[in-house]
Amino acid sequence: MDFIHTIKVKDKLFEYFIGENELNSILRKLYDDINNDYYNATSEDPLIIIGVLNGAFMFLSDIIKNLEIHCEVHFIKVSSYIGTESSGEVKKLIGLNEDISNKKVLIIEDIIDTGKSMVNLIKELNLLNPKNIDICTLLYKKSKCVEDLNIKYIGKEIEDKFVVGYGMDYDKQGRNIKCIYKLFE
């Protein structure tokens, strides 16, 4: 057995949800699709990949290690979670210092919940006049999303459960867990 069925992070109990084999399958599909869709990126016109910190760092790392296209990687930090709930209020903590005007942009996100953070991030990025903005998310809570988002790449649609592991945290802990666990009820 290569996983623990339940784990405790701080004061909450989580149960095994998505293992390494399923994650690898999801990743393979996503990076194959990105490679196919952006095959014509050049060193003069690379795909600009923007990773949303902190949660997407592991996902982003695994995706870009398998990209065979010209790309640049940058980071932005936004936060809207308090404990296990999205507050709906977005705080931009680290900004993008790169010129993305007339560039193809791909946002890499760990999870899209209500979609409010993503809508605000896209509004901010659109002020910088990119050619287009696509979204890639590892997990998507379609039933909870209240925003109309055009998400080009979805790793897995999940129910409205709080998850931890593979870069995602509960109150700053659990990011280092190599599988994904959901809140035990």
- Active-site positions read 113
- The C-alpha atoms of residue 141 and residue 45 are separated, in whole angstroms, by 33
For residue 128 the two structure tokens come to: 């910088």
Angstrom CA distances, 165 to 104, 106, 141, 152, 161, stand at 30, 23, 16, 23, 13
Which CA distances in Å does 56 have to 19, 101, 169, 175? Answer: 17, 24, 11, 10
Give the C-alpha separation, 93 to 78, whole Å. Answer: 6
